[in-house]
Structure 1
């Protein structure tokens, strides 16, 4: 017996059983064949190590910033017109470690094991180890790994690091030093103003143009201000970015600019560098859609509208949600966690949806919908949960 049914039959009550079943079904949705899908399922359980065998009757192995319910796995689908979506899985290999330091060391060991298996170098990561994996790290995460799954059974690999590891007050300093060490001197000064630097990411292995990516947090972002966030040459114009924000935030009814703002969960931007001179060559706008909808039915409708606007059939996203869970979208909130619009030099725009595993909890719908025009002092939803970084 082989295929998705066999994997789920072996471990239906464990974290590994749940997430590998979801992975196998998403592989079918994205066009990855059964043999490669089985390979990737084993990679996922190997990377999760002991927590893969943990019963789902137990609480999460540890609190994680990666998802709202502390599942140490998140999926995403990246769409372009006229082609199958790229499937990605983000994981925290050190989940369940006794300390943040041990968490990071476990993650680093998994990265190096993958490097040995697939023959890629970790020299850029090695250059940054003391900055992001100190002996007494701080912050909400240590090291995450993202795998972009593709035919052939060998994924593209990315690592995500925490700029606040040496203290939140040194995050900007840490990002600047990291960019300088990697040869991107002056890159930090091209970034837009923001309210923090939640992640720095590196492409490792077989990438045509490996990227260094810096993420910036933007609290209370007004829709009209989106046009000034991109720093890439020949990047998206203000109208495209504002239109994306209006659709995802539910402001496409003509809500005036001062009122059309993201005042619950913050918007993130990602700025990618592929060359050591000049500004960014890529820009992505990430909207935490789960904070601005009453339930996932609305999130699905808005995401489908964004996909259709960019010439992409939204039916694939609907199939992906069915692959993750049998629950109806209206019965929870957060299955679609983020929607992102990505631009890279020389490539068509991509729309990416970030999808939650919901291994431990489904956030209930809210009624009435979340406030989007909260007066000063209104409580916001917490920032932790679901990365939106693949």
Structure 2
């Protein structure tokens, strides 16, 4: 049983009985609203939904900056140090961040990057087990790191079990509660996990604040045809049924390739503003249709998502090599979610130079100085931008103070 308990310090807290966390999941546990809809899956083919990136492909190490003997943690720490310098972090802040990276990576972080796992990781588009991202809004900046235990040789089940164990270890850290995760764990684990990832985690360093820990879960762990039902059940357990139903009703149900649940993220925090985020991939839809679907969001500016897709990718019609994604943010204080657009960059653009020019031009149109973005890309680059392909997505939310974020692979793995 999951019970939402009022609290003076947060909008709600989850009480979870241990016996309920281990009960087997059956269709009867899933909300009937999406059971029938989620079975409408003839269009859920491998060429729809999120792309495999390097999963299923052999990769090799290639770098101008790093050596094959450098560990994953060595490379990640260098990226975080460079990113922190670009954003003006103090030396003490940098030392704290680098120490945290090594703590979070643990034993696998000391493995040599020159010996890739048999199954490439999905968290970064080059197959490495981590990705760095930068965000800018209202004159403030944020540096984030997402990571996935490579679990050599990297079977889906091993990564799932390593992810579960790591999540439980986070509970030993002050201010990192995992009750919300435990309330939905059975929905995002399986004896034979499917999909391109099982778990990955993240940490965000915010100006003037403590690091924020996050977890990312795969709603298609038991198959894409069950992703919608599992996502909805998770939202109900998390106490966010009302805003979720508002979104689902607006979309006419959340199923099929037009708006497919591909990820669920939780802030591991007791803070009032702690969020739950649902990621929907949009296959075979136009830029205008993506924009129309965002109309229910409390912070959406009509036309902004369509404009971003056109300016950055070069067209408004469907047919992107990687589908655009909308990220829906839920919290206890709001009856409808917020929305952020993820614009695909690579492989739609052939290299980082082309992607950069498109993104920088759009940022200028939005009255945002692209210089910090350019500096971040340059600082983390592992070679000339005309020879690298590290930019996964540009995330964007419009309005008087637009928000931008860019997601960068390390650039040290290439197809073998």
TM-score, reference length from structure 1: 0.80
CA distance in 2, matches of 1:60, 1:102: 12
> Cα distance, 1:164 vs. partner?
1.1
> Cα distance, 1:37 vs. partner?
1.8
Residue 96 (str. 1) matches residue 152 (str. 2): yes
> Cα distance, 1:343 vs. partner?
6.0
> Cα distance, 1:322 vs. partner?
2.1
- Correspondent of 2:303 among 239, 242, 246: 239
Larger deviation, residues 148-157 vs 265-274: 148-157
- Correspondent of 1:205 among 269, 276, 279: 269
- Correspondent of 2:371 among 309, 315, 329: 315
Moved over 6 A (4+): 8-12
CA distance in 2, matches of 1:362, 1:309: 36
- Correspondent of 2:282 among 210, 213, 218: 218
1:157-176 map, 5 Å: 157-176=213-232
- Correspondent of 1:196 among 248, 260, 263: 260
- Correspondent of 2:394 among 307, 317, 339: 339
Q: Deviations over 1:276-306 (max 9, x none)?
A: 76321x1011011112223211111111122
CA distance in 1, matches of 2:230, 2:332: 20
Q: Deviations over 1:127-172 (max 9, x none)?
A: 0111112343222211111111135783111111010122222111
Are the aligned partners of 1:94 and 1:106 in contact in 2 as well (CA < 8 Å)? no
Are the aligned partners of 2:177 and 2:270 in contact in 1 as well (CA < 8 Å)? no
TM-score, reference length from structure 2: 0.75
CA distance in 2, matches of 1:147, 1:343: 24
What is the match of residue 387 of structure 1?
Answer: none
94 and 332 in structure 1: CA distance in 2 versus 1, 3 angstrom threshold: closer
Are the aligned partners of 1:295 and 1:331 in contact in 2 as well (CA < 8 Å)? yes
Are the aligned partners of 1:287 and 1:338 in contact in 2 as well (CA < 8 Å)? yes
Q: Deviations over 1:291-333 (max 9, x none)?
A: 2223211111111122222332211122212221241111122
- Correspondent of 1:67 among 121, 124, 127: 124
Residue 20 (str. 1) matches residue 73 (str. 2): no
CA distance in 2, matches of 1:223, 1:9: 39
293 and 99 in structure 1: CA distance in 2 versus 1, 3 angstrom threshold: closer
What is the match of residue 384 of structure 1?
Answer: none
What is the match of residue 368 of structure 1?
Answer: none
Partner SS for 1:76: strand
CA distance in 2, matches of 1:38, 1:151: 15
> Cα distance, 1:270 vs. partner?
1.0
> Cα distance, 1:42 vs. partner?
2.5
Residue 324 (str. 1) matches residue 375 (str. 2): no
Are the aligned partners of 2:126 and 2:409 in contact in 1 as well (CA < 8 Å)? no
Are the aligned partners of 2:213 and 2:267 in contact in 1 as well (CA < 8 Å)? yes
Count of residue pairs the alignment pairs up: 344
348 and 149 in structure 1: CA distance in 2 versus 1, 3 angstrom threshold: same
What is the match of residue 30 of structure 1?
Answer: 87
> Cα distance, 1:220 vs. partner?
2.5
Listed as ranges, the gaps of 5+ residues in structure 1 are: 1-7, 252-256, 364-390
Residue 354 (str. 1) matches residue 407 (str. 2): yes
RMSD: 2.7
Are the aligned partners of 1:33 and 1:151 in contact in 2 as well (CA < 8 Å)? no
277 and 9 in structure 1: CA distance in 2 versus 1, 3 angstrom threshold: closer
> Cα distance, 1:208 vs. partner?
4.3
> Cα distance, 1:117 vs. partner?
1.9
Listed as ranges, the gaps of 5+ residues in structure 2 are: 1-64
Are the aligned partners of 1:15 and 1:56 in contact in 2 as well (CA < 8 Å)? yes
Are the aligned partners of 2:219 and 2:261 in contact in 1 as well (CA < 8 Å)? yes
What is the match of residue 195 of structure 2?
Answer: 139
- Correspondent of 1:292 among 340, 343, 348: 348
Partner SS for 1:290: coil
What is the match of residue 46 of structure 2?
Answer: none
- Correspondent of 2:339 among 268, 283, 289: 283
Partner SS for 2:241: coil
